[in-house]
């Protein structure tokens, strides 16, 4: 009897042991207060060395349904049934640009903004990613906060700036913007620099009712 137990124990010792850190499964179970979410962001110095916009392949047709990422966002965010011509060309609809509170009916007046701009993502950790992961980031349709249709002028005013340098001109949009920024950085495990953290913490103080929900990107 004891010899059989010893044999089983010896066999078990030869099996590979895999230990999964508990933190790997510790995703938020519900909305976090924005101040608590800001506290989760890692702090690191930023560097733009080597950045090229072409490092992030974007507006692809990831699901091969004939619609690019840009078209997918326009279709999803239109407040009315959009007009879609052959080739998934979106020609009309109604979009609310929450950065400036403007309603747009012609898609040519809209940009699809990366909530955390590509250059900022590069600075914050994406420089170490594979090209495939950068492409996934640039075309992230699985989180509503990642991509947003806004007026071209506000998107170009924002450019690659973080919340320490730029905020939406519409004051009522700033808490939502801060929450979406934090959610995107947490989703993709991107860091913040000292000035960015301070700006987000200041925003959080005035946005006590705002919450942040995110799921870690695959």
Q: Is the pLDDT of residue 73 over 90?
A: yes
**Burial profile 131-165: b = 16 or more Cβ within 10 angstroms, e = fewer:** eeebbbbbbbeebebbbbbbbeebbeebebebbbe
Long-range contacts of 22-30 (CB under 8 A, 24+ apart): 27/215, 27/216, 28/213, 28/214, 30/213
Which residues on adjacent β-strands are paired with residue 104?
95
Amino acid 96: pLDDT: 98
Kindly state the percentage of the chain with pLDDT values over 90.
Answer: 86
More confident residue, 109 or 15: 109
Token output for 145 = 């906060």
Q: What is the pLDDT of residues 76-122, one digit of tens each?
A: 999 999 999 999 999 999 999 999 999 999 999 999 999 999 999 99
Q: Are 116 and 189 in contact (CB under 8 A)?
A: no
Query: Using 50, 70 and 90 to split pLDDT, how confident is the model at 4?
Result: very low
Q: Quote the mean pLDDT of the chain.
A: 89
Q: What is the pLDDT of residues 114-125, one digit of tens each?
A: 999 999 999 999
CA 72 – CA 93 distance, rounded (Å): 13
* DSSP one-letter code for 42: P
141 φ, ψ (degrees, to nearest 5): -95, 0
pTM of the model: 0.86
Amino acid 25: pLDDT: 37
Run of H or E including 179: helix 174-187
Q: Is the pLDDT of residue 11 over 90?
A: no
Token output for 179 = 């929450």
User: Which of 13-22, 51-60, 143-152, 171-180 bottoms out in mean pLDDT, i.e. has the lowest?
Assistant: 13-22
Q: Is the pLDDT of residue 7 over 60?
A: no
């Amino acid at each position: 009897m004891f010899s059989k137990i010893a044999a089983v124990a010896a066999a078990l010792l030869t099996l590979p042991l895999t230990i999964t850190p508990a933190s790997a499964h510790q995703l938020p179970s519900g909305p976090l207060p924005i101040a608590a979410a800001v506290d989760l962001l890692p702090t690191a110095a930023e560097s733009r060395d080597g950045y090229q916009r072409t490092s992030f392949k974007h507006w692809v047709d990831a699901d091969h349904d004939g619609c690019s990422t840009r078209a997918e966002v326009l279709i999803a965010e239109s407040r009315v049934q959009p007009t879609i011509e052959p080739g998934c060309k979106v020609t009309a609809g109604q979009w609310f640009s929450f950065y400036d509170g403007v309603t747009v009916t012609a898609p040519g007046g809209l940009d699809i903004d990366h909530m955390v701009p590509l250059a900022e993502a590069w600075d914050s950790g994406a420089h170490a990613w594979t090209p495939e992961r950068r492409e996934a980031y640039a075309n992230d349709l699985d989180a509503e906060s990642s991509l947003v249709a806004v007026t071209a002028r506000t998107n170009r005013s924002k450019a690659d700036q973080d919340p320490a340098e730029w905020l939406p001109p519409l004051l009522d949009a700033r808490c939502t913007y801060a929450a979406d920024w934090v959610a995107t950085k947490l989703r993709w495990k991107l860091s913040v620099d000292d000035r960015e953290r301070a700006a987000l913490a200041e925003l959080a103080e005035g946005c006590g009712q705002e919450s942040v929900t995110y799921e870690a990107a695959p």
